[in-house]
Amino acid sequence: MAQTLPMLPIQPAPFFASKNRAFWNLQLAGWGGAFLLRAVTAFTNGLPLNYLLLILVTMITGFSISLVLSVIYRQLIGRKPLFTWGITALVLAGAVVVHGSIDVWAQSIYSGDTRDAGFAQRFIGVSYIPLTLLGGWSALYYAINFFLTVEQQADRLERLEAQTTAAQLAMLRYQLNPHFLFNTLNSISTLVLLKQTEPANAMLTRLSSFLRHTLITEPGSQVTLEQEIETLQLYLDIERMRFEDRLRTHFEIDELALSAQLPSMLLQPLIENSIKYAVGTSEEGASISVSARVIGERLRLRVEDTGPGAGPGAGPDTGFGTELTTEAIRARAPAYTSSSTGVGLANTRNRLVQAYGDSHLFETRSPPGGGFTVLIEIPFVSAREIAQLDETVSAGSEMSAQPDAHAAPISAPEAASAREGAAFNPHPALGS
């Protein structure tokens, strides 16, 4: 039984991926098409077959002159517009004169100098052909290179925007609340002074584990909700040694939500706010609950506490994609921000804007009876989907390394761009 060979996916390379090859393809196609058009016109008008030689000489002349023009135009691209268009007009006029003169000479040889018309009259009669061909060629040359320049600038702008977003995410990601570190280190120092070495060692070990988890994660990276909960547990273990029974936590996480992808350390600032303003301000402490559910194609996260709340006049932030500034946080949550810089909530909100744009929801709620709730909704993407995408990209990269006579290869940069969204591809001036 014959074995069926697997079909490789065909991904055609962009036409302008190789600028030199694209130039020669356009040259041959353009001048070849002009030759065929004039040949068909000659046959239609009943001209003899040897007239094709005259047409061929004309097309070879135009082809050769266009090569010289490409070298000159390449030097003019990027100059000031007045200089570029002025020199282009002069060069084009000279090229038309040269082309027309060669055409007149070729026609005089073909006709055997039997015509009574002089050189100037013959030149005027044939000059419209080189003017049309070389003028159209020049316009097309500048149009294509202008398109490639605009595309290059757009690619560079996208790359700069991506780098800016990554830098902003890195800045927000590494803004650890200094109060947490200071309080933890002070607690360790106090335990050491009291010669309680075991609790001090335990707190120091948990602090190092927490910092290891937070610092080894790349800024802007995505983790599963299960990994995020593990990091929160390390953080809460440290805080429990400080607040003991005053800190009560409850997690209600759906099994399906555990595989959801979200920005790393997204929930920790919210938990830290609750500890600072709910647990730390009350002798009885407070309860903090974290819940996660998958509703359709959305992941809903809720962080709430039983603290004093945000005070009167605080309403929910229900905007999709609207900026939640530090001033807005202070206006809506005076009880929470009386001694705060507003970094926790604002950073979380800004990270959501950077990661999801308008496709997220961020709300803060505080009922009159007390308590504070932060509600987050983001698109649900499971770790399994990310793994399948990685396998697809890896398979495409492996197949691109195997030659195939019947399918266009998939290059490694193209496979990488399938994950990154767009690959940076500079476009130099089109030319030979």
Are residues 82 and 146 both part of a single domain? yes
The residues that bridge with 252 in the sheet, in sequence order, are: 291
- Cα separation of 331 and 310, whole Å? 10
Q: Do 158 and 181 sit in the same domain of this protein?
A: no
Evaluate if residue 324 carries a pLDDT over 60.
no
Provide long-range contacts, Cβ within 8 A and 24+ apart, for 200-207.
Answer: 202/241, 203/238, 203/241, 206/234, 206/237, 206/238, 206/241, 207/238
Structural domain contains residue 427: no
Q: What is the tens place of the pLDDT at every residue in 273-323?
A: 888 889 888 888 899 999 999 999 999 999 999 988 765 444 433 333 333
What is the enclosing helix (H) or strand (E) of 223?
strand 222-224
- Scored b (16 or more CB within 10 A) or e, 52-67 reads eebbebbbebbbebbe
* Residues 269, 142 share a domain: no
Tell me the CATH number at 297.
3.30.565.10
- Domain span at residue 70 reads 19-164
Of 164, 194, 211, at which residue does a domain stop?
Answer: 164
The answer to whether the CB of 185 falls within 8 A of the CB of 204 is: no
Question: 335 or 294, which is more confident?
Answer: 294
Residue 39: which residues within 8 A CB-CB, separation 6 or more?
52, 55
pLDDT, average across residues 21-30:
87
329 and 180 in a common domain:
yes
Same domain, 34 and 53: yes
Query: Of 297, 261, 301, nearest to 384 (Cα)?
Result: 261
Do 181 and 157 fall within a single domain?
Answer: no
Rg (C-alpha) for the chain, rounded Å, is 36
33 and 135, same domain (yes or no)? yes
Q: Note whether 135 and 191 are same-domain residues.
A: no
- Decide if 75 contacts 143 (C-beta within 8 A): no
pLDDT by residue (tens digit) across 362-387? 999 888 888 899 999 999 998 777 66
What single string gives the DSSP state of each residue in 320-338?
Answer: SS----HHHHHHH-HHHHT
pLDDT score recorded for residue 421: 40
Q: Is residue 2 part of a domain?
A: no
For residues 57-84, average pLDDT: 89
Q: How many domains does the chain have?
A: 2
Please state the rounded mean pLDDT for residues 25-42. 88
pLDDT over 90, % of the chain:
18
pTM of the predicted model as reported, rounded to 2 decimal places: 0.50
Residue type, 352: L
Statement: residue 193 has pLDDT above 80: yes
Which residue in the block uniquely carries the two structure tokens 């609750």?
Answer: 274
- Checking if the pLDDT of 90 tops 80, the result is yes
| Residue where a domain stops, chosen among 164, 195, 216 | 164
Is 184 a domain residue? Answer: yes
pLDDT at res. 12? 54
